[in-house]
Amino acid sequence: MAQSALSNQQSTITVGLIGWPVEHSRSPAMHNAAFKALDLDWRYILLPTPLDQLAAVVGRIRSGELSGANVTIPHKQAVMAFLDEIDPAAQAVGAVNTIVRRDGRLIGFNTDTLGFKRSLLETGVEIENQPCAILGAGGSARVHVLRELGARITLYARDVAKASVLSSEAHLLSEAAQIDPATRLIVNTTPVGLSPNVDASPWPADIPLPSKALVFDLLNNPPRTRLMQQAEEQGLRTVNGWGMLVYQGAAAFKLWTGVEPPVEVMMTALREAMRDE
């Protein structure tokens, strides 16, 4: 759909974020800045959705009241049952984070994989045939990307049974001391350290991080988590979740609008929203 066609719509087109809770999200700031920059009559809103209201909110997309949505915790798997089609990449991950309405049909996509991969590749870290660790059992998109890039993956989680579904190499977080010292990448997929619990870290304070590891914390608030501080104190490189958030959002933006998103505008809006908090 061309930009001019989008701009000539009779009424504002609405998309939003389905999750519970969602009040912490900065997605509206970056999407609405992008819509404004391209003069698109669209808006992005928060859609706080308890599980027992999920079907009703998806129904608002089906009716056309909403033109699409992002989906976040805890609904990325549950929402799949309400959709007409699942994109093969989302099917492979087993989770949907973007819903697109096309010709009355609801299609589920996963742009988390695109966002994480793009952000990871920008770091330049070499992970092919290298040991990499994921903290948490909810990182299916990250496991998918690391596997695609040829990494050797070990998961550390509180729920080993759940983690074992993603990788045969799964251990308790309390066993982090046994991590391969040659590990090149550690990805935190847990919510530990998310604001307001900024003094918490998923990594034990008394265990050194591997000396060659890049630490990628998917959290975006605070911008420098306790885990990142632990890594930096050991002289390690760190990355937060801002790039992934913007890139996955940009991919969703293009799926909804058909228009190339202004990524720099989205990143600037995210930075400003975080600074104003």
Alpha-carbon distance 176 to 179, whole Å?
5
The residues, any chain, with a CB within 8 Å of residue 165's CB and separated by 6 or more, are none
Out of 76, 162, 212, 254, the active site residue is 76
Active site residue 36: no
* 89 neighbors 113 (Cβ within 8 angstroms): yes
Among 171, 166, 174, which residue's Cα sits nearest to residue 146?
A: 166
Alpha-carbon distance 188 to 137, whole Å?
10
The residues, any chain, with a CB within 8 Å of residue 259's CB and separated by 6 or more, are 1, 2, 3, 6, 38, 40, 253
β 68-71/98-102 pair status? antiparallel
Which segments within 1-114 are labelled E, that is strand? 13-19, 42-48, 68-71, 85-86, 98-102, 105-109
* 56 neighbors 31 (Cβ within 8 angstroms): no
Number of residues in the chain: 277
Region at 219 (left for phi over 0; alpha for psi -120 to 50; beta for the rest): beta
Joined together, the tokens standing for residue 172 give 């308790």
3-class SS of residue 105: strand
Residue 48 preceded by cis peptide, ω within 30 = no
Active site positions, annotated? 76
